[in-house]
Amino acid sequence: MAKHEAGSLDAVFAALADPTRRAMTERLARGDASVSELAGPFDLALPSVTKHLAVLEHAALVEHWKEGRIRYVRLAPAPLDRAEAWIAHHRTFWRERFAGLHEHLRSTEP
Amino acid sequence: MSAPGFVRLVEVFDAPRERVFAAWTEPEQLERWWGPGRFKTTRAEVDLRPGGRYELVLEPGSMHLVGEFREVVAPERLVYTWQWIAGVPDTRESLVTVEFHDLGARTEVVLLHDSFAGPGPVDMYDAGWASGLAKLRVHLGEEEAA
């Protein structure tokens, strides 16, 4: 798999040369998905999906994280978009925390 | 890679400053509000002093957040580093500055989360600069908002 340097343009082209992987990135562009959600429409066995994901991940096109035993996948922001993604993510994160703090302060009002 | 960017948010809470500051820093209170929605805070440890560390664990996913306090001025101001060490793909260290402005029965919180943590407190000269810049950003942001 490591024919091309991780994250290089060559790795990206090689990853996207495959129609299944192209379809997977198109699916992820519409929203994050668990690995089994991703496998669904392609009628593929999980090991095969995992292999495709490894190629996409090597190209730094997708990244995964785990919640409990479930593995989720999302499109990785391109390097140039990373700052914007960081800002958007943290803005949402803090707004949610603020909502929690409002609620907490209300419920503990002396 | 450190993505250059920062988030600045201003929020007014319906509680006096001491209460808001306590909610922000006391473990038993953090456990109640820090993990909203589907997440729960299962561990909160806070050593509230410059150089002291904190740890927060969110479930599900064992998302583990740690950091070190660089400034602690109760109940006015906190500066602390911020780093997810498990459960989240982005493990780079960033820096959070929180100011609690006294509005009597209410409190204005100005939050600045900078994606670049800057130098540690070891280098006092540089740390002074980093914190000075953060202050300046907060100040300038306020001017813009006014």
Q: Look at residue A72 in the predicted model and tell me its pLDDT.
A: 93
Q: Look at residue A7 in the predicted model and tell me its pLDDT.
A: 66
Band of the pLDDT at A83, cuts 50, 70, 90?
low
Closest CA to B1 of A42, A15, A83: A83
Residues B137 and B79: their CA atoms lie apart, in Å, by: 14
- Indicate yes or no: CB of A102 within 8 angstroms of CB of B1: no
Residues B48 and B72: their CA atoms lie apart, in Å, by: 7
Determine which of A65-79, B57-71, B72-86, B113-127 has the lowest per-residue pLDDT on average: B113-127
Closest CA to B22 of B33, B12, B11: B33
Band of the pLDDT at B3, cuts 50, 70, 90?
very low
- Indicate yes or no: CB of A101 within 8 angstroms of CB of B13: yes
User: Could you tell me if B11 lies within 8 Å of chain A, comparing CB atoms?
Assistant: yes
- Indicate yes or no: CB of B9 within 8 angstroms of CB of A91: yes
**Report field, pTM of the whole predicted structure over 0.90:** no
Closest B-chain CA to A101: B33
In this prediction, residues A17-38 reach a mean pLDDT of: 87
User: Which chain B positions have a beta carbon within 8 Å of A90's beta carbon?
Assistant: 7, 113, 115
Band of the pLDDT at B145, cuts 50, 70, 90?
very low
Closest CA to B88 of A45, A36, A98, A93: A93
User: Could you tell me if B5 lies within 8 Å of chain A, comparing CB atoms?
Assistant: yes
Band of the pLDDT at A2, cuts 50, 70, 90?
low
Q: What is the DSSP string of chain B?
A: -----EEEEEEEESS-HHHHHHHHH-HHHHHHHSS-TT-EEEEEEE--STT-EEEEEEETTTEEEEEEEEEEETTTEEEEEEEEEESSS----EEEEEEEEEETTEEEEEEEEES---S-TTSHHHHHHHHHHHHHHHHHHHHHH-
For A5-15, write each residue's pLDDT tens digit. Answer: 676 666 777 78
- Indicate yes or no: CB of A105 within 8 angstroms of CB of B115: no
Q: Is the pLDDT confidence value at A46 over 80? A: yes
User: Which chain A positions have a beta carbon within 8 Å of B20's beta carbon?
Assistant: 101, 105
Closest A-chain CA to B5: A83
